[in-house]
Amino acid sequence: MKSLAELQAIREKTLNRINLRKEDEGEVTRVVIGMATCGIAAGARPVMLSFMDEINKRNLNHVTVSQTGCIGMCRLEPMVDVIVPGQEKVTYVHMTPEKVARVVAEHIVNGRPVEEYTIGAAEDK
């Protein structure tokens, strides 16, 4: 059993983390990977691991990688949303681990989405 002082310290530490997250939300670039059954079956797990590796390798502390459930377009999986503060969300489709380094370098680092990997390019085919 924790003492009242220990519980209070845990509470304060947790609240500080939450407040930091709220302050940083406007500055954080988010990479969200569809990890429902269809995404996983199409190869989303290696894509997610590649994003994590590439972001860590480049020391991009302002980027978070997270997962979501079904996006609703199974035929386009694996799908990845890149959400840069102050810009429109970009959805990448048919992602592979081989495409990740280019998306990180061109879009996340240099601010230029890789158009040929996006949902708009897939629908034009």
Which strand (E) or helix (H) includes residue 16? helix 4-24
pLDDT beyond 60 at 125: no
Q: Which of 31, 76, 84, 36 is nearest to 54 (CA)?
A: 31
pLDDT digits (tens, 9 = 90+) for 25-74: 558 899 999 999 999 999 999 999 999 999 999 988 889 999 999 888 99
Residue 91 has a CB neighbour count (10 Å cut-off) of 20
Length of the chain equals: 125
Please state which CATH class domain 26-124 belongs to. Answer: alpha beta
- Domain assignments of the chain as residue spans, ordered by start: 26-124
